[in-house]
Amino acid sequence: MGSKVLRAFITLAFVVIFNFFLFRMLPGDPIGLYARGRNQDPEQLVELRRALNKPLLEQFLTYLRNPFDSTIDSTRFSRPVWEMIGERVWPTLLLLGTAILLASLIGIWIGIRAGWKPGGRFDRMSTSTTLILYSMPEFWLGMMLLIVFSVGAFGIPGMFPVGGIASPGVDTSSPVGWLNVLRHLVLPCTTLVLIYLADYALVMRASLIDERRQEYLTLARAKGLRDTSVRKRHAVPNALLPTVTLIFLSLGFVVTGAITVETVFSWPGLGLLTYEALRGPDIPLLQAIFLMFSIAVIVANLIAELLYVVFDPRVRS
């Protein structure tokens, strides 16, 4: 267990080092970019330039002392980058949390039904559907849902808002505001659920098919247990373990969906912030976002690995 934590720390250390040196390779004058279009004290600029002209090693040590330096300003928004990230966390957590929860419930259900009778009618239909969803760029699905259900096309009236998290002027802390947020959540959440569940259903199906070959299931059947109870009591709990771990491990893939889908639906979370940062490009903001996403994924992976050890005694030995 200790070695897993240590490995996560080493990975993290490399992210921090990579994040520093990569952006030092950028051509051009970062101070000029930073000062463009703003009233900056010339003395302060000289100060900044001197800081960047220091030897690379010295800069690196200063950076290492605090990689989360809250005084670094975004070049585009002129605000501390970590403050901006802090504000954008909640909408992303709301969207991704809802989407992952729904996608894992539906995906696992589909995976169980398909994997218990592989080659059956349900399996053939669900596997081809999930393969198509798996091949789909998530932002494209989002754009199509927007055109059909929000703008209105093919005779379907527009029912949902075109973007954002709430209508302007609505107080999001009131019950009416919650309903309004919920209505804004429907389309981006549906997009992500459809994309994520494809992955989860395929994994659950494969894992259940693996489990079906185990001898303890033959024993359970030989004992005269009904098919339903063999499935529910014996096969599914064991097949669920790798699936749940994979849901945690797939957070890197979840992040991709968040960035593009939030962009399409102008959902004011971390994904949209990433898009705004890269269109600049707003280097300090981009650097902070990269660090934040990497840490989130590394920590999620570590949790998944530790949970696996807790739940599966077989890997402990």
Partner 1 sequence: MTGVVILAVFIATAILAPILIPDAALDVTKADGGRFEGPSLGYPLGTDESGRSVLLLLAWGTRISLTVGIAATIISMVLGTAFGIAAGHFRGAGSHALVGVTDWFLVIPFLPLAIVLATVLGPSTTNLIIVIGITSWAGTARLIRAQTLSIEGRPYLERSKALGAGNWYQMSRHVLPNVFPLVLANTTLTVAIVILSETTLSFLGLGDPQAPSWGALLDRAFSSGAVSRGAWWYVLPPGICVVLVVLAFTLVGRAMERIVDPRRAS
- Asked if residue 297 binds partner 1 (CB under 8 A), the reply is yes
CB of 231 closer than 8 Å to CB of 116: yes
Q: What is the identity of the amino acid at 9?
A: F
Q: Give the shortest CB-14-to-partner 1 separation in angstroms.
A: 6
- Asked if residue 176 binds partner 1 (CB under 8 A), the reply is no
100 three-state secondary structure: helix
Part of the chain binding partner 1 (CB under 8 A), chosen from 4-12, 113-121, 166-174, 237-245: 4-12
For partner 1, the binding residue among 198, 274, 284, 285 (CB under 8 A) is 274
Part of the chain binding partner 1 (CB under 8 A), chosen from 89-97, 169-177, 181-189, 270-278: 270-278
- Gap between the Cα atoms of 25 and 21, Å rounded: 7
Q: What is the identity of the amino acid at 173?
A: S
For partner 1, the binding residue among 81, 108, 251, 273 (CB under 8 A) is 251
Q: What is the identity of the amino acid at 179?
A: L
Contacts of 190 (CB under 8 A, 6+ apart): 145
Tell me the Ramachandran region of residue 36: left when phi exceeds 0, alpha when psi lies from -120 to 50, beta otherwise.
beta
- Gap between the Cα atoms of 175 and 97, Å rounded: 20
- Asked if residue 303 binds partner 1 (CB under 8 A), the reply is no
Q: Give the shortest CB-173-to-partner 1 separation in angstroms.
A: 29
- Asked if residue 9 binds partner 1 (CB under 8 A), the reply is no
Site string for partner 1, 13-52 (x = CB under 8 A): -xx---x--xx-xx--------------------------
Q: What is the DSSP string of 246-297?
A: HHHHTHHHHHHHHHHHHHHTT-TTHHHHHHHHHHTT-HHHHHHHHHHHHHHH
Part of the chain binding partner 1 (CB under 8 A), chosen from 72-80, 118-126, 164-172, 272-280: 272-280
Q: How many residues does the chain have?
A: 317
- Gap between the Cα atoms of 140 and 273, Å rounded: 19
Residue ranges binding partner 1 (CB under 8 A): 7, 10-11, 14-15, 19, 22-23, 25-26, 131-132, 134-137, 139-141, 143-144, 146-148, 151-154, 162, 251-253, 255-256, 259-260, 263-264, 274-275, 278-279, 281, 283, 286-287, 289-290, 293-294, 297-298, 301
